[in-house]
Structure 1
Amino acid sequence: MRLSEFCITNYRNIINSGWIKATDVTAIVGQNEAGKSNLFEALYCLHSYVDTRYNPDEDWPVDDWKGKKNADGKPVAQAYFEFGTGEAEALFEFAAEKQTDDEGNELQAAIDEPPDGLRLFARRSYGHRTGFYLHDQQGNVIPAVDLKLSNEKVSEWAVEHVPRFVLIQDYEFSGAQVELNELKSRLDAAGGRSHELSVDDQTILIVLDLAEIDLDDFVEKGGTAEGRTLRQFDKRAASAYLTQQFQKLWKQKKVKFDIDVDGPTLNIFAEDEAIGFPVRLNRRSTGFRWYVSFAWKFTHASEGDFENCTLLLEEPGIHLHYSGQRDLLGVFEDLSSTNTVMYTTHLSSMVDQANPERVRIIETDANHHLQVTHGVVSSQSAPMAVIESALGLTPDLSGMLGNRKVLIVEGGTDALILSKLSGLLAKSDKVGLSDQIYLWPAQTSTKAPMYAAFAVGQRWDAGVLLDTDDAGHQARAKIKDMNLKAYADETGHEFRVLMLGEAAGVKKTDVAIEDLFPDEWFLDCVNRAYGLALKLEDLPEDGSTLIAKRVEIALKQRQGRDLKKKDVLTEMLRDFDGWTKISDLPEGTAANAERLFKKVNAAFGVES
């Protein structure tokens, strides 16, 4: 099953988040104290793998404190889950109401076919456990009895099959030595509620559970020679298993773990294969220790299968090097085939430019309540600073762009589209834009020469990609008039001017970024954006082959309206969300994009 959307209400600074759509990998972007943690903590309680619950004394919104007395029964987390192949049928088979004849003999249950669009709805409120219900696509309740199902059996099936939420938010796991007898005392004092212990203690308990080690038994074995020998086998088996699980997620280097117990004292050692010497885990970097905690908690929650979970990760790359952050995004991509991954970040390097549709921006309103924006556009400067930084628009560009090959494009839309296409091509082992080339969007083609001059002045290894239209030709002429290429040559830094139509091999007189796609597809996006039914034959022939220009003229003639590409981009991004492989792209798009990226890579002298 997959989490498809969720809503949080009545929780700390969240009065009503609105319905938030989840993708296989979702990045929650926002400034500190905006409410990202609150969002995850509230959602986690919906179906956590460690029993947790809401506490109105701490969790009810402070600016509605009088309402706390009526908190019981008020919803906090609500979510929809989509059934995977065969899952709805499995639910119906499990939950079918038993039928008996007149003599009380059980008959074979008559199992209905699940209706189209059936979804599983989950809700948790203050003072109550999570309830599971069946809804249609419009959010209407479908009573289980109407489907000849048992309410109790539906809930029983849901508890077992709805993906468990795994929340990783702390970096406190030190891996320092632990006295097992003292750990047992703390656990007993908490009444066995491990989630009330420290992160260190929780993680050690997870390690012991994964290793199938009983605390009392392990300590008792240390009292005899035979027991200590048996304990050695337990430790080695556990160490090998934890090493194997960690290696599935950590791509930086090969590491081997060793659980060591001397009497009641437990230590965990980590040994790099290249060095060959064990080091206590608390001596390793914070980022490494976070990764260890993540790997082992995920192993525990998924029972070692790394599947059927919804991962909620807070600032996962904050202690990792840039290469580690990129590796982590790759791990998320791999895990997303069998899990839903959601993470918060304020790091531009943790925003995947190839998938802008995955971004959700957290804002705060005038009353400091959380609100959510889908996509990469926000009216507030703080969250947008992350997106701008990801696109290279930083106050001091030299640090981000100066050490890279920089390709200036005409705008943010161009950068988003090219990044998406490049990501899809690379995922299918086709040629995408080289990782060495950074897209830097100018605001318009008329400003591209200024960006070009800045890049040359900073002695960057740079180039510009211009539309093959009047504005693009004018920008190229201006760059030529400024003699930028000659200046770049003098300083030993090359500058390239690429025209989109020629580079992509698109057989049109005029070519803009949307002309990488079939005209029919772009027109369909326009029709959806404006509620129209325009056909290609309705578009005028004005001497230009630019689909956007032809649409703009038709729109002006028929409705007196201007074409706003931002409106069309919204519809384009909706389609982007469903594209997971190049065969999903409109016909001819992949070939156009691959030709373009090959040409750009070659211009910068990098291998495709």
Structure 2
Amino acid sequence: MYLSRAHIRDYRSVRDSGEIDIDQERTLLVGVNEAGKTALLKALQQINAPKGADGFSPLRDYPRANYTEVQRGDRDPSDVLVAEATFVLTDVEKKIVLEESPESTGVTEIVIKRYLDNTLRWNFGGAELWRTFGDIEKDLTRLRAYLVKREGSAEVLAGLDALTAGRKPHIALRGEFARKFLAWLETALPLIDEDDEREENRHDRIKVALELDACVTEAGARIRARLPLFVYYSTYFTVRPSINLASLAAREASGDIDPDYDFGNLCLLQLLGLTAKELSELASGEPQPQHYGGGAASDDFLNAVKAYQAKLDDRQYRLNSASVDLTRSIREVWGDDNVQLRLVCDGQYLKVVVVDDIGVEVELDQRSEGFRWLVSFFVVFKAQAQGELKNAILLLDEPGLSLHALKQQEFRKTVARLAEKNQVIYTTHSPFMVGTDELDLVRIVEMTSREAGTKVHTRLVVDDPRSIYPLQAALGYELAQSLFGQSRNLVCEGLTDMMYVEALNTAFTDVGKGLKASISLVPASSASKVIYYVTLLTSQNLKVAALLDSDQAGDNAAKQDELVQLLGSRKILRTKDYCDPGASRPEIEDLLRETLVHVAKDDLGWDVTATAAAQPARPIIEIFKKEISGFSKYKLVRAFIRWLAANEISDLSGAEQAGVTKLLADINKALV
């Protein structure tokens, strides 16, 4: 079976979560801090928590602002439904239901409900769980009329009348009432003529109706035995690098266990199948000759030594097996086949050590927080799921927060692998734990006010925009990755620069003078930001060049030592090298100065012809800004692109054609 829907009510910050659709493999609960993501997982765990997990506590778990309702007795914990989960049955499970209850042909799901007093109730969805007195009332009336005519039926009829007296049609045929009715039906059977098929069938129909409750109950018991275990993991459950066995055993004996501090350590011991007390006693339990009559040569002493050695061997084998299992899991996720984990008993201490690729052993706390998190994660999960994650639903609370962003992305792959055999539900507010191909798996968790409480939205429609920030960031990161899609990249100062180069390249390529290879044009939004884009791109071992205007901002950017070191002077292209030598501080528009003046006049009605002719050294953009109210570089470049599409390259001036041809040739040389 698999979990298909969940619903949480009246639990801490949750008043009514709304129905939560659960994916068959992975479900992501995304929301800001304090939205109630942890509360959802903790409540859901109680559907079928591991042995030893704390149950609901009205004082601790009922919404605190309304706790007086419970104190006054206005709400009985046994009537407060907290967690509801709907599971879809497999074909095997449907067959089990029919084996126990042949009448239950429409059963496709089981609904589990956990109440605040920790009681569990269930049903088979909309399927019938029992029949009512009204369902058999007509058959009983006719059977009674038949029995009246049979000799010796007086006592049987009296029993029937006693059972049915005052019974309303809605009364359920279940429990003690159904059992008494079945017993009466057995007393009536001998009075029915075995050759009377109609009355035999009537008797059988009544019996089936009376037995439905017991049959369904047995079917439900068998199906509930197959419920998946809900295994919860939080970052707080950390395995300590060194565990004092005697101290832990003493805290266990006195009941002074700290659930957060000791939980990871207890899981590690559970994974070994040994208690802290057993390991502690083994550390100090070596037989001493003076305690045996006959000393070291006595049979009793030798047998004791042999038994002690067997215990040590058993401990060592368990430690080794657990070490190998954990090492295999860590290597798969961490991406380092040389890392090795070892569990070592040293006197009263159980240590977790890591062996590096040259054989050096260090304690776990000397490795990164992310590595420790992974070790603790696998220890807790394997322990709670009895070594294997079979038939378990994994509830991960903010997994991988201490992992580097790239490791978080790798951990998503681990979650996907876990989800091949187990359903996984995890909470996060990290964009690196949400893939852009997983948006259909996202459920948004938000709490706009304490009065409304935690709500879960299956669709990405929310009241608080902050709730979807991780999704926006994930999409932004995915978009940023497109920067690294080409091996050759030209970084331009801005979007309009990129648009001019792209339009000119398209036109000149048609006549064999364009860029020779596929080159990605990257707009940096300003000259000062060119260095950042160049740094990012070169760090990926990509070929990069930069095109800078020859104004003051471009000059400042071109003089940056970091940019020169990354690219070298040959790959820093300046617009002054392709414009009229007499131009002062030319920008890319000055490369097309003559044509832009005509395009602006004819297409946009911006006439700067006279000023441009009178001031040939002045940057053309400076003239447009001064002369034209509401001037826009974007309108100008779009007008030029339209003009270029409608005209030939030969319609550019000779100087413009030469300048563009030289620019494209230099870009080719820089990015060979």
Q: Which TM-score applies when normalising by structure 2?
A: 0.55
User: Which residue matches 1:243?
Assistant: 324
Identical counterparts, % of pairs: 23
Query: 1:175 — aligned with what?
Result: 240
Q: Which residue is 2:22 aligned to?
A: 22
C-alpha displacement of 1:214:
4.0
CA contact (8 A) 2:8 2:16 kept: yes
1:346 matched to 2:429: yes
**Equivalent residue number for residue 396 of structure 2:** 313
Q: What residue in structure 1 maps to residue 112 of structure 2?
A: 122
1:372-409 deviations in whole A, cap 9, x for unaligned? 111334331211221111111xxxxxxx58974339xx
Corresponding residue number in structure 1 for 2:70:
68
In the TM superposition, residue 257 of structure 1 has moved relative to its aligned partner by: 2.5
1:183 deviation in Å? 1.4
Deviations 1:195-229 (A, max 9, x none): x6334422222222222224443333332165256
SS of 1:173's partner is coil
Q: Is structure 2 residue 258 aligned with structure 1 residue 190?
A: no
1:65 Cα deviation from its structure 2 partner? 3.0
The AA in structure 2 aligned to 1:198 is P
Secondary structure at the residue paired with 1:57? Answer: helix
SS of the equivalent of 1:231 reads helix
Mapped to 1, the partners of 2:98 and 2:636 lie a distance apart of 63
* Higher alpha-carbon Rg: 2
Q: Is the 8 A contact 2:59 2:67 kept in 1?
A: no
Deviations 1:256-308 (A, max 9, x none): 22222233222121223x23222212222222222122212221233333232
Q: 2:412 matched to 1:329?
A: yes
Change (3 A) 1:388 1:482: farther
Structure 1 unmatched runs, 5+: 97-110, 393-399, 408-432, 438-446, 463-473, 495-603
> What's 2:90 paired with?
84
Q: What is the CA distance between 1:75 and its match in structure 2?
A: 0.6
Q: Give 1:592-607 correspondences, 5 Å limit.
A: none
Aligned to 2:289: none
Cα distance in structure 2, aligned partners of 1:228 and 1:478: 89
Report the Cα offset of residue 8 of structure 1. 0.4
Give 1:232 shift: 4.3
- The whole-number CA distance in structure 2 between the counterparts of 1:113 and 1:355 is 41
Matched, 1:295 2:378: yes
Structure 2 residue identity aligned to 1:72: P
User: Superposition pairs for residues 512-531 of structure 1, below 5 Å?
Assistant: none
The residue type paired with residue 43 of structure 2 is A
Match of 1:285 among 368, 373, 377: 368
Match of 2:4 in 1: 4
Cα distance 1:247–1:323, how it changes in 2: closer, same or farther (>3 A)? farther
Provide the secondary structure at the position in 2 that maps to 1:406.
helix
Change in CA separation of 1:242 and 1:291 when aligned onto 2, cut-off 3 Å? same
Is 1:201 the counterpart of 2:201? The answer is no
Q: Could you tell me how far 1:361 is from its partner in structure 2?
A: 0.7
1:475 Cα shift?
13
Q: Kindly provide the CA deviation profile for residues 230-260 of structure 1, in whole angstroms up to 9, marking residues without a partner as x.
A: 4244224333334324523534223322222
Amino acid at match of 2:362: V
* Alpha-carbon distance between aligned partners in 1 of 2:34 and 2:414, rounded to the nearest angstrom: 27
Q: How many residues align?
A: 414
1:304 lines up with 2:387 in the alignment: yes
Q: Is residue 372 from structure 1 mapped to residue 456 from structure 2 by the alignment?
A: yes
The amino acid across from 2:393 in the alignment is T
Preserved contact between residue 236 and residue 259 of structure 1 (Cα < 8 Å): no
Task: Indicate if the aligned counterparts of 1:82 and 1:120 stay in contact, CA closer than 8 A.
Answer: yes
CA shift, 1:319, in A, is 0.7
**2:48 partner amino acid:** H
Q: Which whole-Å CA distance do the structure 2 matches of 1:152 and 1:346 have between them?
A: 42
Residue 456 (structure 2) pairs with residue 391 (structure 1):
no
SS in 2 for 1:310: strand
Q: Are 1:264 and 2:348 matched, yes or no? A: yes
Match of 1:112 in 2: 102
Q: 1:174 to 1:212 in 2, by over 3 A?
A: closer
The within-5 A match list for 1:410-425 is: none
Q: Secondary structure at the match of 2:10?
A: strand
Residue 359 of structure 1: how far off its partner (Å): 0.5
* Change in 2 beyond 3 A, CA 1:120/1:401: closer
Q: Summarize the Cα distance change of 1:67–1:257 in structure 2 as closer, same or farther, 3 Å threshold.
A: same
Q: How does 1:95-106 map to 2 (within 5 A)?
A: 96=100
Point out the more displaced range, 276-285 or 308-317: 276-285
Change (3 A) 1:401 1:115: closer
Assess if the C-alpha contact under 8 Å between 1:60 and 1:71 holds in 2.
no
Contact 1:89 1:113 in 2 (8 A): no
3-state SS of the aligned residue for 2:8?
A: strand
Q: Distance in 2 between matches of 1:491 and 1:46?
A: 69
1:494-533 → structure 2 map (5 Å cutoff) = none
For the residue of structure 2 that corresponds to 1:86, the secondary structure is helix
Deviations 1:98-145 (A, max 9, x none): xxxxxxxxxxxxx52753452111011111322332113xxx664497
Amino acid of the residue matched to residue 264 of structure 1? Q
Q: Is the 8 A contact 2:237 2:264 kept in 1?
A: no
Q: Runs in 1 of length 4+ with deviation above 6 angstroms? A: 474-479, 489-494
Q: Which stretch shifts more, 69-78 or 231-240? A: 231-240
Q: Give secondary structure in 1 for the equivalent of 2:84.
A: strand
Q: Which residue of 1 aligns with 2:60?
A: 58
Give the distance between the partners of 1:493 and 1:87, measured in 2 at CA: 67
Seen in structure 2, the aligned counterparts of structure 1 residues 220 and 63 have a Cα distance that, compared at 3 Å, is closer
Stretches of structure 2 lacking an aligned partner (at least 5 in a row): 132-173, 175-208, 287-304, 490-498, 503-520, 538-543, 545-634, 645-659
Residues of 1 paired with 2:667 and 2:460: CA distance? 33
Q: 2:483 aligns with which of 401, 406, 414?
A: 406
Checking the alignment, whether the CA contact within 8 Å between 2:30 and 2:445 is kept in structure 1 is: yes
Distance 1:62 1:174, change over 3 A: same
Q: How does 1:350-361 map to 2 (within 5 A)?
A: 350-361=433-444
Q: 2:45 & 2:94 partners in 1: Cα distance? A: 24
Aligned-partner SS, 1:115: coil
- Residues 265, 453 of structure 1: alpha-carbon distance in 2 compared, 3 angstrom cutoff: closer
From 266, 273, 281, the equivalent of 1:212 is 273
Equivalent-residue separation in structure 1 for 2:666 and 2:91 (angstroms): 58
Per the TM alignment, residue 322 of structure 1 is displaced from its structure 2 partner at its CA by: 2.1
Distance 1:141 1:152, change over 3 A: closer
Paired residue secondary structure (2:344): strand
Q: TM-score, normalised by structure 1?
A: 0.60
Q: Which SS does the other structure have where 1:379 is aligned? A: coil
- 1:162 is the counterpart of 2:238: no
